[in-house]
Chain A
Amino acid sequence: IAGITQAPTSQILAAGRRMTLRCTQDMRHNAMYWYRQDLGLGLRLIHYSNTAGTTGKGEVPDGYSVSRANTDDFPLTLASAVPSQTSVYFCASSERGTGELFFGEGSRLTVL
């Protein structure tokens, strides 16, 4: 089934550890996004990529980095996790020029 796959589904992490959330899509979409969702705050854009080889900062990029080596993969890395990064992380993709985002099932991250 075509779509977006995120891994891990859930993770508990000690503060200060490095963590990479993986995201892979098989729809050949140009654009990919990482959002975090927190109660009362909604979805906030962390980083995005309009095409392979390019990335950009969203609303809340600090403490996170991304890479886009190819069309399909868009990993999100927390270099040194802090408790405020406890959240549900959603990866999404779209055809550039449309606003119809296709979301992965989310990765629930808890930083202790």
Chain B
Amino acid sequence: GQNIDQPTEMTATEGAIVQINCTYQTSGFNGLFWYQQHAGEAPTFLSYNVLDGLEEKGRFSSFLSRSKGYSYLLLKELQMKDSASYLCAVRDGDYKLSFGAGTTVTVRA
């Protein structure tokens, strides 16, 4: 099974940087994913890491260390529209995704 931990809430100021950490313990690992979910909406895909290192995609970056069971999502130049829940998910060997409980990020002016 999967055990995925991430902080419940984070608050940051518009224009700032926020880092959301995710740790996992898994019986099989086949990639780590980050999803964004605005209140009342469906989750949408943000990023994917299967090898160690940093993946950058515009204002968002995601990092993975497989040996440490650790990932983070970095949000730069925060905007009000970035207020949302961010879900860390681990894919197992059977291509199923297990999700963490999510981190609610609130961006303040």
Contact = CB atoms under 8 A, between A and B. Distances in A.
Contacts of A103: 42-44
Contact of A48 (B43, B91, B96): B96
A99 to B, nearest CB: 5
Interface residues of B, number: 23
A97 B56 CA distance: 22
Given A99-B89, A100-B48, A103-B44, A42 B31 contact: no
A99 B101 contact: no
Contacts, number: 53
Interface residues of A, number: 25
B45 A100 contact: yes
A91 B76 CA distance: 31
A69 to B, nearest CB: 21
B37 to A, nearest CB: 9
Interface in B20-46: 30-31, 33, 35, 41-45
Contacts of A50: 94-95
A90 interface: yes
A105 B42 contact: yes
A42 B99 contact: yes
A102 B48 CA distance: 14
13 contacts: A42-B99, A43-B43, A45-B96, A45-B97, A48-B96, A58-B96, A59-B98, A99-B48, A99-B97, A101-B45, A102-B45, A105-B41, A105-B42
Interface of A: 31, 33, 35, 40-45, 48, 50, 56, 58-59, 90, 96-97, 99-106
